[in-house]
A and B are shown apart, each in its own frame.
Chain A
């Protein structure tokens, strides 16, 4: 029987595995709906350990949106650790959902969200445990559709053989659209089988179906062409963009885990997209344009979320939170509102300016001022121009001085190594910056006990960015530069003890690079690595570079290509890239021009406060930058700790009637106690904004 709970068979295995609580479900605000009355059933997967996957906002949003539909059921599944994997195999149990403990194969859709390419081997483990054939073409009518999404899915070609379909971009409307199509197709008796269903989904521009596109290769190994093999699907599948985030205030009732997870806080996304134009940043490029949630929605989401969860920390999420046009008012408003509630506020702070310190001060009014993070990304001024991260050394020193003067005790600086055009000298300048920072800190604080942590990540070129053509630095080069830098800092008596170093070796970055810019031929490498035991590649204790290297040698070299060919090789302008047929809205000519500007060290301003520079996204996708200030307010809320159930005075319009442009909403006129109920936790509404 389909959809049955397997918990009774799973339970005896749990005392034998590490941290069994991660497999039992039952989280606060989780939902188990009856199986039989659901018309469409989704299994949503985050292909990493529970502790990492549970807090994932994307998955929580889709879980809630789908479950709000009366005839839709959505449950969650995460990667099981190797100890449980072995027991499941031994006892003939499948990949299961943590909500209803049902077999993943029983669902209509398995939706997998990839934040990083290093989750690909975990996809294969889940498919295999579920009893779903690894290759999409071998799946039958009883198998769920396997649909990939998330940032990494903007180049899904390496996993094209393992997935049936791919959602590009924001998932909120896409999952509802997919659900509609499946509902109709099932109600009609599943005409034409899986292929027909996939064709309908592709035709409605909901998904990219890799099987509908053929790839041919040239004798030198480069791609000849990608051609569509049906006439009823788009030539270039394109990304989804959610407009009016105020109409979509999800998650309304975030999950409260029983097990310990990596983020134990209420996360509220304050805007999506970023147009600062950092050339290395895939997230910034593929999520354009900027769409803000207004201050009232943010205030209402924080209030409702806290009451629904009991969390005592709030994090305001986005790619660059200090850039929200109303962030000052939001910070002060929240700090005022929760001053006596023992609730701490945090902002992932990376902007290097005094305003950011002011914000951080607001957020830590009564809290400890432990660490502030700034991300200059590049060590030298020259390199920062190449990557378009406009931070001067003086700005950094001034900002850091302000931070130390306000009682911050530790500053963390984030850099990348292996950036295009980088030389040893650029990396050594990180030591100079660190020295300046320590000196400034000692001056500003008046004592010598100042710490600065330098954290360095390896740069991995990503698709849909101006750096998509560059040759990635080899791990030998990256490791040598990092060693040089470390030795230089250690040898410097003045700062050696004050500077902490955090970095990883360059080898996982090379495999990430392979998977990020790989094409369909890389699929065989992934499968071989998985068959040889590759699991949890994002975890250093499980990652094996040698396994990947030998799999590349076995699968790629007979084709005349290699690991290096995919990673350290620079591409020219006309080469067909594996993801060129997928439309993120970015104009390829603009990307190339921006890459050339990078080589010339020319900087580019943010289109939020300078004229549009025609990256292509807005006209192609029919979207607009949506920013404030709106002139609305963060409404006061009745104290939560005073006892008895609280009725919020905050409201938010969820009808999408008013835009959030300053002109559209005259000074807070919309702020009334109307329409507020939609934000109440656990309210289930059928309202599905189009």
Chain B
């Protein structure tokens, strides 16, 4: 009785393309599932020649790397697409960007080379705007947080409510004054499990120093990548870009 899909197996993957994209403005309220669905429709509209999985309900082969949480904007989200037909990354970037709603913007595309994307990302740099919080208040709270060795917070995760340490993941926390009524917090956070997000850091600031912003903070992820010793992050697409550059150089020579 077991029916099988008729016809030949799906065409093989001939190329993998890595994209960097941004989640901006009101689209920061998209959850990861919303982003994934919107991407799949955008890929169809842009007629990107995706490779598909086999079976009765074939799925386009898309690999996501850790997504910014609902409500957080990002300038640095990453995804890898498997294609059944080769395509110029710049063309793919332009076509897909045009097919996605404004606010979900493709800002870079490279042909994948060498190591996996996930291996090149172990930290994020965030900037968090805190409307209604004065800079000295934030500075005091951050100093207090950094003085601790362990700060436990609790949050609902997809595996239920969990308690975890925030402090160990924080590599860097710097305060600035945006204006009189809005402080700005810059963070570099190591990726741990569960991932420590800006809202966890804010919860921790509440725990250690009673900081409770009256207006919801606005976090934006600025970068993801491999943490260097000096606290900066290495661009995860740089190795692919270099390889592609070499290839291009060779063929034109």
A: residues with CB less than 8 A from B are 7, 11-12, 14-16, 19-21, 24-28, 256, 258-260, 264, 306-312, 342, 344, 365-369, 407, 445-447, 640-644, 646
CB-nearest residue of chain B relative to A12?
B215
Given contacts A12-B216, A642-B47, A644-B47, whether A369 and B3 have CB atoms under 8 Å apart is yes
B206 within 8 A of A: no
Establish whether residues B49 and A258, one from each chain, have CB atoms under 8 Å apart when the complex forms: no
B21 within 8 A of A: no
- Number of chain B interface residues as a range: 35 or more
**Which 3 pairs show the lowest CB-CB distances between chains A and B?**
A310-B41, A15-B216, A310-B44
B12 within 8 A of A: no
Q: Which residues of A contact B58 (CB under 8 A)?
A: 342
CA distance A24 to B44 in the complex (A): 23
CB-nearest residue of chain A relative to B57?
A368
The listed residue (B3, B41, B43) touching A28 by CB distance below 8 A is B41
CA distance A366 to B70 in the complex (A): 36
CA distance A46 to B30 in the complex (A): 22
Establish whether residues B34 and A260, one from each chain, have CB atoms under 8 Å apart when the complex forms: yes
B71 within 8 A of A: yes
A-B contacts besides A20-B71, A259-B34, A642-B47, 15 pairs, CB < 8 Å:
A11-B26, A14-B29, A26-B27, A26-B102, A256-B38, A264-B37, A309-B41, A310-B40, A310-B44, A342-B58, A366-B7, A368-B57, A640-B47, A643-B85, A646-B47
Report the minimal beta-carbon distance from B21 to chain A, rounded to whole angstroms.
Answer: 15
Q: Which of chain B's residues 77-135 have a Cβ closer than 8 Å to chain A?
A: 85, 99, 101-103, 131
Q: Which residues of A contact B85 (CB under 8 A)?
A: 643
CA distance A372 to B85 in the complex (A): 37
Which secondary structure characterizes the binding site on chain B?
loop
Establish whether residues A20 and B70, one from each chain, have CB atoms under 8 Å apart when the complex forms: yes
24 cross-chain CB contacts under 8 A: A12-B215, A15-B71, A16-B216, A19-B31, A20-B71, A21-B31, A28-B41, A258-B101, A260-B37, A310-B40, A310-B41, A310-B42, A310-B44, A312-B41, A365-B6, A366-B5, A366-B6, A366-B56, A369-B3, A407-B1, A446-B1, A447-B1, A641-B49, A643-B49
Establish whether residues A258 and B27, one from each chain, have CB atoms under 8 Å apart when the complex forms: yes
Report the minimal beta-carbon distance from B89 to chain A, rounded to whole angstroms.
Answer: 15
B33 within 8 A of A: yes
CA distance A307 to B45 in the complex (A): 6
CB-nearest residue of chain B relative to A22?
B29
CA distance A407 to B1 in the complex (A): 6
Report the minimal beta-carbon distance from A386 to chain B, rounded to whole angstroms.
Answer: 38
Q: Which residues of A contact B27 (CB under 8 A)?
A: 24, 26, 258
CA distance A368 to B55 in the complex (A): 9
Establish whether residues B101 and A26, one from each chain, have CB atoms under 8 Å apart when the complex forms: yes
CB-nearest residue of chain A relative to B55?
A368
Establish whether residues A310 and B45, one from each chain, have CB atoms under 8 Å apart when the complex forms: yes
CB-nearest residue of chain A relative to B42?
A310
CA distance A605 to B52 in the complex (A): 48
Establish whether residues A367 and B1, one from each chain, have CB atoms under 8 Å apart when the complex forms: no
Report the minimal beta-carbon distance from A50 to chain B, rounded to whole angstroms.
Answer: 12
Report the minimal beta-carbon distance from A579 to chain B, rounded to whole angstroms.
Answer: 42
Report the minimal beta-carbon distance from B34 to chain A, rounded to whole angstroms.
Answer: 5
The listed residue (B26, B38, B42, B45) touching A25 by CB distance below 8 A is B26
Q: Which residues of A contact B101 (CB under 8 A)?
A: 26-28, 258
CA distance A391 to B12 in the complex (A): 49
- Encode contact with A along B51-65: 1 for CB under 8 Å, 0 otherwise: 010001110100000
Which of B44, B52, B215 has the most chain A CB atoms closer than 10 A to its own CB? B44
Establish whether residues A445 and B41, one from each chain, have CB atoms under 8 Å apart when the complex forms: no
CB-nearest residue of chain B relative to A406?
B3
Q: Which residues of B contact A12 (CB under 8 A)?
A: 131, 215-216
CB-nearest residue of chain A relative to B216?
A15
Q: Which residues of B contact A445 (CB under 8 A)?
A: 1
Q: Which residues of B contact A369 (CB under 8 A)?
A: 3
CA distance A310 to B43 in the complex (A): 8
CA distance A344 to B58 in the complex (A): 11
CA distance A447 to B2 in the complex (A): 12
CA distance A365 to B6 in the complex (A): 8
Which of B7, B42, B56 has the most chain A CB atoms closer than 10 A to its own CB? B56
Q: Which residues of B contact A342 (CB under 8 A)?
A: 52, 58, 60
CA distance A20 to B34 in the complex (A): 12
Given contacts A310-B42, A311-B41, whether A260 and B33 have CB atoms under 8 Å apart is yes
CA distance A271 to B76 in the complex (A): 47
Establish whether residues B56 and A367, one from each chain, have CB atoms under 8 Å apart when the complex forms: yes
Q: Which residues of B contact A310 (CB under 8 A)?
A: 40-45, 99
Report the minimal beta-carbon distance from B97 to chain A, rounded to whole angstroms.
Answer: 14
Which of A24, A27, A258, A344 has the most chain B CB atoms closer than 10 A to its own CB? A258
Q: Which residues of A contact B40 (CB under 8 A)?
A: 310, 312
CA distance A144 to B67 in the complex (A): 43
CB-nearest residue of chain B relative to A367?
B56
Q: Which residues of A contact B43 (CB under 8 A)?
A: 310
CA distance A566 to B71 in the complex (A): 48
Report the minimal beta-carbon distance from B14 to chain A, rounded to whole angstroms.
Answer: 14
Q: Which residues of A contact B216 (CB under 8 A)?
A: 12, 14-16
CB-nearest residue of chain B relative to A29?
B101
Given contacts A28-B41, A446-B1, A641-B49, whether A21 and B33 have CB atoms under 8 Å apart is no
CA distance A312 to B42 in the complex (A): 11
Q: Which residues of A contact B26 (CB under 8 A)?
A: 7, 11, 24-26
Q: Which residues of B contact A642 (CB under 8 A)?
A: 47
CA distance A407 to B56 in the complex (A): 13
CB-nearest residue of chain B relative to A306?
B44
The listed residue (A19, A21, A26, A309) touching B45 by CB distance below 8 A is A309
Q: Which residues of A contact B52 (CB under 8 A)?
A: 342
Report the minimal beta-carbon distance from A8 to chain B, rounded to whole angstroms.
Answer: 11
Q: Which residues of A contact B215 (CB under 8 A)?
A: 12
The listed residue (A11, A25, A256, A644) touching B41 by CB distance below 8 A is A256
CA distance A308 to B45 in the complex (A): 7
CA distance A309 to B43 in the complex (A): 11
The listed residue (B6, B29, B49) touching A20 by CB distance below 8 A is B29
Q: Which residues of A contact B37 (CB under 8 A)?
A: 260, 264
Q: Which residues of B contact A11 (CB under 8 A)?
A: 26
Establish whether residues A21 and B34, one from each chain, have CB atoms under 8 Å apart when the complex forms: yes
Establish whether residues B49 and A312, one from each chain, have CB atoms under 8 Å apart when the complex forms: no
Establish whether residues B29 and A24, one from each chain, have CB atoms under 8 Å apart when the complex forms: yes
Given contacts A26-B103, A28-B101, A643-B47, whether A367 and B29 have CB atoms under 8 Å apart is no
Establish whether residues A258 and B34, one from each chain, have CB atoms under 8 Å apart when the complex forms: yes
Report the minimal beta-carbon distance from A75 to chain B, rounded to whole angstroms.
Answer: 15
Q: Which residues of A contact B29 (CB under 8 A)?
A: 14, 20-21, 24
CA distance A426 to B97 in the complex (A): 59
Report the minimal beta-carbon distance from B104 to chain A, rounded to whole angstroms.
Answer: 9
CA distance A264 to B29 in the complex (A): 19
Q: Which residues of B contact A16 (CB under 8 A)?
A: 216
Q: Which residues of B contact A311 (CB under 8 A)?
A: 41, 44
The listed residue (A7, A258, A366) touching B30 by CB distance below 8 A is A258
Q: Which residues of A contact B7 (CB under 8 A)?
A: 366
Establish whether residues A641 and B70, one from each chain, have CB atoms under 8 Å apart when the complex forms: no
CB-nearest residue of chain A relative to B72?
A15
Report the minimal beta-carbon distance from B74 to chain A, rounded to whole angstroms.
Answer: 15
Q: Which residues of A contact B34 (CB under 8 A)?
A: 21, 258-260
CA distance A446 to B215 in the complex (A): 64
Q: Which residues of B contact A446 (CB under 8 A)?
A: 1
Q: Which residues of A contact B103 (CB under 8 A)?
A: 26
CB-nearest residue of chain A relative to B33?
A260
Q: Which of chain B's residues 224-241 have a Cβ closer than 8 Å to chain A?
A: none
Q: Which residues of B contact A407 (CB under 8 A)?
A: 1, 3
CB-nearest residue of chain A relative to B39?
A310
Which of B6, B26, B30, B99 has the most chain A CB atoms closer than 10 A to its own CB? B26
Report the minimal beta-carbon distance from A681 to chain B, rounded to whole angstroms.
Answer: 10
Q: Which residues of A contact B30 (CB under 8 A)?
A: 21, 258
CA distance A249 to B45 in the complex (A): 21
CA distance A310 to B52 in the complex (A): 16
Establish whether residues B57 and A367, one from each chain, have CB atoms under 8 Å apart when the complex forms: yes
Q: Which residues of B contact A26 (CB under 8 A)?
A: 26-27, 101-103
